[in-house]
Structure formats: C-alpha cells, structure tokens
Amino acid sequence: MRRFLTTYLAAIATASSLAFAQQQPTNTVSQDQVIRVDVDLVNILFNVKTKKGELIPNLEKSSFTLREDGKEQTIKAFSRETDLPITLGLLIDISASQERLIDTERDAATQFFSNVIRPKDQAFLISFGKDTELLQDFTNSPRQLIAGLKDLKGDGQPPRIGRSPVPVNTGPIPDYGTAKGTLLYDAIYLAATEKLKDQVGRKALILITDGGDQGSTYTIKQAIEKAQKSDAIIFSIFYVDRAAYGGMGLSFGGGDEGGLKKISEETGGHCFSVSRQHPLSEIFKEIQEELRNQYSIGYTPTNANRDGSFRKIEIKTDNSDYHVQARAGYYATKNDEQ
C-alpha cells in the first residue's frame, strides 16, 4: 500500500510501524563509516562556513575544539567527508497552499536527484498534506525517484476534520476538532523513525514546505527529537505561494519559517528561503555542496552514563569569523533504545 497513516494516535507507538511496513535495503557501509552514537564513540557531522555562508572545506583537526555540556572533550577521530554514502529523504508539501508550486518543485528535484544520487547512495520520496504518502521507497536509481516525482499532485481540498483509525479491536476512535491539513511534523517523525533509524552512513532529510503544520499528531519537539536520535540532518526549504494567502505577504500568514529554522538548526542543517534572487534550483545546488563538503568528528564522552539525557554539543574553530553548522546535541541512550 502506498497510502499510509492518514491519521493516527501518538499514544499508540505501533501505528507508525504498521504504516511503514515495507522492506528496506541496508546500505553496505563499513563499521568505520557509521555515523551514530556508538558504545564508546560519538560521531558528529558538520559544515564550516564564513559569515557570508561560504563553505570552508580544508580545515585540519587542530583547528577544532569540542565541548559536551560545557566540558571539553578529546577529539579521537577526524575526517573530511566528501565521498561517504548518503541516505536521503525528500519530503514535499502538497497541501492546498502549495499546489501551484508543485511543478517547479518537481523540475528542481528532478535535477537534484540526477546530480546527487550515486550507486552507493539511497533515497526515498514522501509527499505530505492531509495524508502522508510514500511515493518511492529506498532506491539508488535517479530514474525511479524521478518517476516517483511524476506522481506528485496537490491535495485539491481544504483541511478536513475527521476520525482517526487506529490498530485496535475497538475500531475507529473519534478525533473531533483536529483539522488535518498539513502533517509536516508527522512526516518528519515517521521518516526519521521508520525510514532512517536503522540506516547507517550520512543521513539527511530535505523538506520543501511553507512550514505551516496543521493537524499533526506529533509536535515539533517530538519531530526534532526523533530526527536527532536517528542522526538525521534536516535541510528545510521555505517556499511560499503568497497568492495562496490572499497575496498579503509573509507577515500576514504564509507558513512558519521560524519553525523550519528551529528544525534545521537543531539537527545540524540549514534553512533556505526561495525568492526570485534565490530560486529553488540554486538552493538544491547549495544543499548538494553542503552534503559533499562535511567534516566528521569522533570522541568518547567523559560522561559515560547512558541515562537517556540530552547532551549539548559545541564545536568551535580557531577562526572567530567561521561558523560551525552542527546539530545541537544527542541523546545518550543505549544503542537498542535509539
């Protein structure tokens, strides 16, 4: 079934697993390439930029210092990652406010997949609006991904109020008063949990949306937490059809750019904004450059407790004019609890 999770209850954790019940191939990546919190080692992927946003790709290990919860850590592993396999999910908003942008999104994403996906990479494609639909499961074939993009189509209807079918014998449970319009946070949560959690290597999600969420079961905090636990970097593309909001501009409604910035910054990604001077096609090129020009730092935390707490990470360079783009931290859970 390609249609999944129309509505569901957050309290029932098995709902998402049932909705994404599909075979997922495992990337063949050696153990030294795994980007995750290991038993002894924490690995962090990040970019370094100038104040103008230009990437700095040639720094050495000695250029960096790292702190966890304010305490300096010893960097044990360091590398510049330009060729490590990528597991990538593209999540596209097809709600009513985005319908007239879909053709542009399809064209730009087609070029992106053609340029960025290599034989050792994996990618999948999800659309979200009132429903969340997997248009293409894991593949390393740009042709299959592009074919999935052809299935993109708008919801065609305004938000609805409905009932949530749940996988219990008591049948549907009323969900009165909850408008189902743009399930952005649910799409992130489920992509991170069901598609990326067990994958290895570099992992990223790309969102194309105006940032407005309406009707999600999960909150922005829960979506960010799941992305962090799956080690997924999120690149957000803030794309608004002003006419869909009465032509009044962004200050009178038109999504939530601030929410997208929060999602991206806390997972080590970046939030881009589409404009006439900064078209979607150029933004995809910039994301491609960021994905291919990352650093990796590995360290053994001085705090070895696996108590489930969130550990804040701060990476700095010896040049005050440089900015490190890294996730805010990680959850110190046991490997089987990720």
Residue pair 293/55 in contact (Cβ under 8 Å)? The answer is yes
pTM beyond 0.85, yes or no:
no
- Residue 82 has what pLDDT? 80
* Whole-number Å distance between alpha carbons of 227 and 331: 11
Residue pair 282/104 in contact (Cβ under 8 Å)? The answer is no
Q: Read out DSSP for 119-181?
A: TT-EEEEEEESSSEEEEEEEES-HHHHHHHHTT-----S--EEEEE--SSTT--EEEEEEEES
Lowest-confidence range among 20-29, 94-103, 197-206, 260-269? Answer: 20-29
Structural domain of residue 330, as residue ranges?
34-82+294-337
- The pLDDT tens digits for 126-135 are 999 999 999 9
Q: For residues 189-208, give the mean pLDDT.
A: 94
Q: For residues 249-263, give the mean pLDDT.
A: 75
Q: What pairing do the DSSP bridges indicate for beta strands 132-139 and 122-128? A: antiparallel
- Residue 181 has what pLDDT? 81
User: Mean pLDDT in the chain?
Assistant: 82
State the pLDDT confidence band at 193, using cuts at 50, 70 and 90.
Answer: very high
- Residue 334 has what pLDDT? 74
Beta bridge partners of 134: 126
What is the 3-class SS of 231-242, one letter each residue?
CEEEEEEECCCH
- The pLDDT tens digits for 55-91 are 999 999 999 999 999 999 999 999 998 888 999 999 9
State the pLDDT confidence band at 228, using cuts at 50, 70 and 90.
Answer: very high
283 and 315 housed in the same domain: no
CB atoms within 10 A of CB 285: 16
51 and 104 housed in the same domain: no
Residue with tokens 């219990």: 168
283 and 193 housed in the same domain: yes
- The pLDDT tens digits for 213-223 are 999 999 999 99
Angle subtended at Cα 122 by Cα 91 and Cα 17, rounded to the nearest 5 degrees: 60
162 and 186 housed in the same domain: yes
Residue pair 78/64 in contact (Cβ under 8 Å)? The answer is yes
Q: Say which residue, 200 or 16, is predicted with more confidence.
A: 200
- Residue 30 has what pLDDT? 41
108 and 222 housed in the same domain: yes
132 and 269 housed in the same domain: yes
Structure tokens at 16: 């998402």
The CATH number covering residue 303 comes to 2.60.40
Rg (CA), the chain: 20
- How many DSSP H helices and E strands does the chain contain? 7, 17
- Residue 6 has what pLDDT? 38
Q: Read out DSSP for 6-54?
A: SS--TT-THHHHHHT----PPP---GGG--SB-SS-EEEEEEEEETT--
The CATH number covering residue 174 comes to 3.40.50.410
Could you tell me if residue 87 is inside a domain? no
Structure tokens at 77: 């592993």
From residue 15, alpha-carbon distances to 10, 89, 185, 234 in Å are 8, 21, 15, 24
From residue 335, alpha-carbon distances to 20, 24, 36, 38, 158 in Å are 22, 20, 9, 7, 42
Q: For residues 101-116, give the mean pLDDT.
A: 95
Q: For residues 94-107, give the mean pLDDT.
A: 93
Question: Which domain-ending residue is among 291, 311, 326?
Answer: 291
CB atoms within 10 A of CB 130: 23
- Residue 336 has what pLDDT? 53
- The pLDDT tens digits for 157-174 are 554 444 333 332 333 323
Angle subtended at Cα 275 by Cα 269 and Cα 280, rounded to the nearest 5 degrees: 60
Could you tell me if residue 39 is inside a domain? yes
**Can you state the angle between helices 102-116 and 280-291, rounded to 10 degrees?**
30
Residue pair 317/64 in contact (Cβ under 8 Å)? The answer is yes
State the pLDDT confidence band at 246, using cuts at 50, 70 and 90.
Answer: low
226 and 266 housed in the same domain: yes
- Number of domains the chain contains: 2
Residue 32 pLDDT > 50: no
240 and 300 housed in the same domain: no
Residue 249 pLDDT > 70: no
58 and 110 housed in the same domain: no
